[in-house]
Amino acid sequence: MKQKHLVIVSAVFLLLAFAAAALLYQNRKSDAAAQAYQRDKSTFVRAHSPVLGNPAAKVDVVEFFDPACETCKEFSPFVKKLMAAHPDKIRLYARYAPFHQGSDQVVKMLEAAKRQGKFWETLDAVFAAQSSWAAHHRPQPELVWNYIGGVGLDIARIRQDMASPEIEKIIQQDLADAKTLNVKATPEFFVNGKPMPSFGYDQLKRLVDEAVAAAY
Amino acid sequence: MNSPAGAQNSNWALVFACWLLACVSTLGSLFFSEVMGYPPCVLCWYQRICMYPLVLILPIGLFPFDRKVVRYAAPLSLLGALIAVFHLLLVAGYIPESIKPCVQGVPCSDVQIEWFGFVTIPLLSGLSFMLITALLLVAHRRSSE
């Protein structure tokens, strides 16, 4: 009987030690990420990155997204709600991670729309029609044209700008940064440099709430 | 010198120690891959295949104590030790590039952790397998005497 207890106590002790070590490690890593972000933001945010919100906000939410990614679309209103809950305290940066075949074409459209000052409006239109042009994870970029008519873009100029090498360079830069930051799936969020401990709305909300509480 | 019950108790303790080692190694490897996010290479997976079953097989031999447990566990720990030695030789460069068994994913010659300048993951694995094998052999010797 004593031996049985010894084994059970050991098993429980080892599992608890594992859980405690995992928690400690996550916290340390998250703090280190935040410090690295304060020192150098360049891999997280580039000069070309579209930004939404108060330019003087102290909380940066960096989102790597793919226009064809359903979960990105579902997170979009949620992120806007978070920003509305903390007015003028959050800046949202969009980074491209076109992991789906063909969605880089849509990113080029968005980047061309940015030149006309209509990035976020176009993104909303693209997300709203996502189920029509990217059903079953098979994006058909040429269909997107049918859904961005209402944004008020100069379509001829979009088509022209999409071919520009600068836009290709921006996509390559974002993909390289995604690799450096170990972004393997979209959407991936960094709140003042901290990644979500695990994926989910609540985890993102908690990160944002903590960052706002720390900064204001 | 030992009473039969005393000998059985010390053999039980040896197998229990093996189980503890297997548990620590299993949780440690899961910590590296799941918490720290290091992807395991092919040779690491082969070593895991030898280590993880020990966590379940050894306690079955502990209740009630079955001295034959050594016969079921030792092949796993011995094979694990051999793979770990191969892995160590590969990392150290004694085994040439051409017969590296892993071509996809993480190269097995990658050193992801180096504590105190010499403690690597395959070294920890090799030590653990060898210690488990040694303890099992001692238990086997004693029980067959």
Helix-strand-coil split of chain A, %, nearest 5: 60, 10, 30
From CA B10, how far away is CA B16, in angstroms rounded?
A: 10
A43 in a domain, yes or no?
no
Closest residue in B to A23 (Cα–Cα): B35
Q: Quick one: which of B53, B19, B42 has its CA closest to B109?
A: B42
A19 in a domain, yes or no?
no
pLDDT higher than 60, residue A113: yes
Q: Does B105 touch chain A (CB under 8 A)?
A: no
In chain B, the number of structural domains is 1
From CA A104, how far away is CA A168, in angstroms rounded?
A: 9
pLDDT higher than 60, residue A151: yes
**A30 vs A46: which has the higher pLDDT:** A46
> pLDDT of B14-43, one tens digit each?
999 999 999 999 999 999 888 887 888 888
- Do the chains contact at B23 and A11, CB–CB below 8 Å? yes
Closest residue in B to A15 (Cα–Cα): B27
In chain A, the number of structural domains is 1
A149 in a domain, yes or no?
yes
**C-alpha distance across the termini of chain A, in Å:** 57
Q: Which residue has the tokens 């916290």?
A: A27
Instruction: Give me chain A's average pLDDT, please.
Output: 92
Q: Assign B120 to helix, strand or coil.
A: coil
pLDDT higher than 50, residue A131: yes
Residue by residue, pLDDT tens for chain B (145 residues) are: 456 677 778 889 999 999 999 999 999 999 988 888 788 888 899 999 999 999 999 999 998 888 888 889 999 999 999 999 998 888 887 877 555 555 555 677 777 777 877 788 889 999 999 999 999 999 888 877 7
A115 in a domain, yes or no?
yes
State the CATH number of the domain containing residue A204: 3.40.30.10
Which tokens sit at A150?
């209402």
Which range of residues forms the domain containing residue A85? 51-215
Closest residue in B to A22 (Cα–Cα): B35
Give pTM, 2 decimals.
0.66
Q: Which residue has the tokens 């049985």?
A: A4
A15 in a domain, yes or no?
no
Which tokens sit at B68?
């034959």
Measured in angstroms, the CA of A69 and the nearest CA of chain B are apart by 24
B residues 15-34 lying closer than 8 A (beta carbon) to A = 16, 19-20, 23-24, 27, 30-31
Which range of residues forms the domain containing residue B82? 4-144
